[in-house]
Amino acid sequence: MLNILKGKMATLNSELAYRIKLWQYAPKLPALQASDRTIVETLKREGAYVTSLTDLGLKSTSEMLQATDHQLDRMAATNNSHLAKRLPQIYTVTDVPEFFNWGQENRLLKIIENYLGLPVAFHGVHLRKDFPNEHQFGTLLWHKDSEDRKLVKVIVYLHDVEEKHGPFEYIPVSLTSFPNLNSYRVNYKLWQSGYLGINNEQLQKIIPKSAWKSCTGRAGTVVIADSRTALHHGTLRTETRSALFFVYTANPPKRPELCTQYWDDTFTKPEILQEIG
């Protein structure tokens, strides 16, 4: 009992310290143009915002896309058609300058900083291929990430993404946040799953499918989402989807040990690709 009380007190103290930091840092947040303020406000209200590389207009986009084509060409062929569960193919490209530079573009960081309310930590970039699957598992289940209190992922579609490619899908935050009853129901289901995720059938008993937001789009579509706050998943697909995932938290994040995967050797890196090639 004493240990439980100590744990709860530590959690309360941590959250209080977080709130104080938000209050102290608010006057230091960078100014935003009106269109970028709209992105921040939509993120707060919805949990996600859909735009495009063209609309963002970041200076290093051309170089980033050229590097993407090069890395996609070098990704090893995958023979997984016989598997019941086809895991995604993930490469960590954080150390490739073209990806790192794009992820550090000033306009992008200012948007994210205003959303987080604190200084930004850019953790890295994953180049990811997701394969056709018939059943939900892993990130195909509805889930919330846990690296920090807020976690921004900037997802760039590398080809046209229709329903058959398994687009990013989310539930608007207003439907799953306190004091909405659904917040308790969703969190209970997540707890029952060991926080691995819940399937479509379970979620549909809580939130009707008509409220689910599917982010389809042409090549160059950019989905900016808070994958900690917004319940989300990748939908079941019949065709492969390729995308970049840029990952950001407050600096420092609540759980830094979960952020190392975006720059360490958890997944294949370009240096290894060169050795294979």
Question: What is the C-alpha separation between 156 and 149, in angstroms, rounded?
Answer: 23
Q: Domains of the chain: which residue ranges?
A: 1-30, 33-276
Coil vs helix vs strand at 241:
strand
Provide the 10 A C-beta neighbour count for residue 22.
Answer: 14
Average predicted confidence (pLDDT) for the chain: 94
| pLDDT exceeds cutoff 70 at 204 | yes
Question: What is the C-alpha separation between 68 and 188, in angstroms, rounded?
Answer: 40
- How high is the pLDDT of residue 277? 42
Mean pLDDT of 105-111: 98
Token match 């937001």: residue? 213
Q: For 100-109, 174-183, 193-202, 240-249, which range has the lowest pLDDT when averaged over its residues?
A: 174-183
**CA 164 from centre of chain:** 20
- How high is the pLDDT of residue 44? 97
pLDDT bracket for residue 276 (50, 70, 90): very low
Question: What is the C-alpha separation between 232 and 237, in angstroms, rounded?
Answer: 15
Reported pTM: 0.94
- How high is the pLDDT of residue 74? 87
- How high is the pLDDT of residue 4? 66
CATH class of the 33-276 domain in this structure: mainly beta
